[in-house]
Amino acid sequence: METILSPLDFFRRARKLHPQREAVVDGALRLTYTQFGDRCDRWSSALAKLGVKPGDRVGTIAPNTHEHLEQYYAVPQLGAVLVPMNYRLTADDFIYLASHSGCKVLCVHPDYFGLVDSVRSQMKTVEHFVGIGGKKEGWLDYEALLAAASPDFPKHELAETDLLTINYTSGTTSRPKGVMITHRNAWTNSVGVLVHWNMVPSDRYLWTLPMFHANGWTFTWTITAVGATHVCLPKVEAALIYEAINKEQVTHLCAAPTVLIAIANGPEEKRKAVRRGVKVFTAGAPPAAATIERMEGELGWDITQVYGLTETAPFISICEPLSAHAELSAGERAKIKSRQGVELITSGELDVVDEEMKPVPHDGATLGEIVARGNVVMKGYYNDPEATAKAFAGGWFHSGDAAIVYPDGYIEIRDRFKDVIISGGENISSIEVEGALLRHPAVLEVAVVGMPHEKWGESPNAFIVAHAGKTATPEELKAFCRENLAHFKVPTAFHFVNELPKTATGKIQKFVLRGSRAGITAQ
Task: Give the range among 99-103, 221-225, 305-309 with minimum mean pLDDT.
Answer: 305-309
Cβ-Cβ contacts under 8 Å for 381 (sequence gap 6 or more): 177, 178, 179, 180, 387, 388, 391
pLDDT tens-digit profile of 51-87? 999 999 999 999 999 999 999 999 999 999 999 999 9
DSSP alpha helix (H) spans, 8-136: 8-17, 33-49, 66-77, 91-101, 113-117
Instruction: Provide the CB-side half-sphere exposure for 286 (13 A, CA).
Output: 20
DSSP alpha helix (H) spans, 83-126: 91-101, 113-117
C-alpha distances out from residue 400 to 201, 347, 416, 502, Å: 38, 18, 6, 22
Strand order in the sheet with 315-318: 29-32, 22-26, 229-231, 204-206, 252-255, 279-282, 302-308, 315-318, 342-343
In eight-state DSSP terms, residue 456 is T
pLDDT of 412 > 50? The answer is yes
Q: What percent of the chain has pLDDT over 90?
A: 72
In this prediction, residue 504 has a pLDDT band, given cuts at 50, 70 and 90, of very low
Instruction: Provide the CB-side half-sphere exposure for 204 (13 A, CA).
Output: 19
CB of 487 within 8 A of CB of 464? no
| Nearest Cα residue to 371 out of 355, 350, 345 | 350
- Is 420-514 the same fold as 12-235? no
| Nearest Cα residue to 328 out of 289, 298, 295, 300 | 289
pLDDT of 523 > 60? The answer is no
pLDDT tens-digit profile of 34-60? 999 999 999 999 999 999 999 999 999
pLDDT of 431 > 90? The answer is no
CB of 169 within 8 A of CB of 310? yes
CB of 495 within 8 A of CB of 520? yes
What is the per-residue pLDDT for 174?
53
- Of residues 193 and 262, more confidence is placed in 193
In this prediction, residue 436 has a pLDDT band, given cuts at 50, 70 and 90, of confident
Amino acid at 195: V
DSSP alpha helix (H) spans, 199-314: 214-217, 219-225, 238-248, 257-264, 268-272, 289-298
| Nearest Cα residue to 164 out of 385, 7, 4 | 7
- In angstroms, the first-to-last Cα distance of the chain is 63
What is the per-residue pLDDT for 254?
96
**In CATH, what number does 420-514 get?**
3.30.300.30
Rounded to whole angstroms, the Cα distance separating 520 from 452 reads: 16
CA 306, distance to chain mean position in Å, is 13
| Nearest Cα residue to 311 out of 462, 446, 170, 162 | 170
C-alpha distances out from residue 365 to 162, 344, 508, Å: 41, 23, 26
Rounded to whole angstroms, the Cα distance separating 350 from 316 reads: 7
Domain boundaries, the chain: 12-235, 420-514
pLDDT of 312 > 50? The answer is yes
DSSP alpha helix (H) spans, 119-225: 142-148, 183-196, 214-217, 219-225
Angle (CA) 514-518-520 rounded to 5° is: 115
Domain at 12-235, CATH from 3.40.1390.10, 1.10.10.10, 3.40.50.12780, 3.40.50.11740: 3.40.50.12780
> What are the contacts of 155-161 at 24+ separation with CB within 8 A?
156/54, 156/78, 156/79, 158/4, 158/6, 158/8, 158/76, 158/79, 158/183, 159/4, 159/183, 160/4, 160/5, 160/6, 160/184, 160/187, 161/379
Instruction: Give DSSP secondary structure letters for 278-303.
Output: -EEEE-SSPPPHHHHHHHHHHS--EE
What is the per-residue pLDDT for 327?
87
Mean pLDDT of the chain: 91
pLDDT of 403 > 70? The answer is yes
Could you give the dihedral angle defined by the CA atoms of residues 63, 64, 65 and 70, in that order, rounded to the nearest 10 degrees? 110
Q: Helix, strand, or coil here: 84?
A: strand
C-alpha distances out from residue 513 to 174, 429, 508, 510, Å: 21, 16, 9, 5
What is the per-residue pLDDT for 287?
66
Rounded to whole angstroms, the Cα distance separating 412 from 121 reads: 47
In this prediction, residue 332 has a pLDDT band, given cuts at 50, 70 and 90, of confident
pLDDT tens-digit profile of 262-305? 898 889 899 999 999 999 999 876 666 667 888 899 999 999 99
Strand-pairing partners, residue 66, are none
What is the per-residue pLDDT for 288?
63
What is the per-residue pLDDT for 420?
67
Cut 0.75: pTM above it: yes
Q: Please compute Rg for the chain using Cα positions.
A: 23
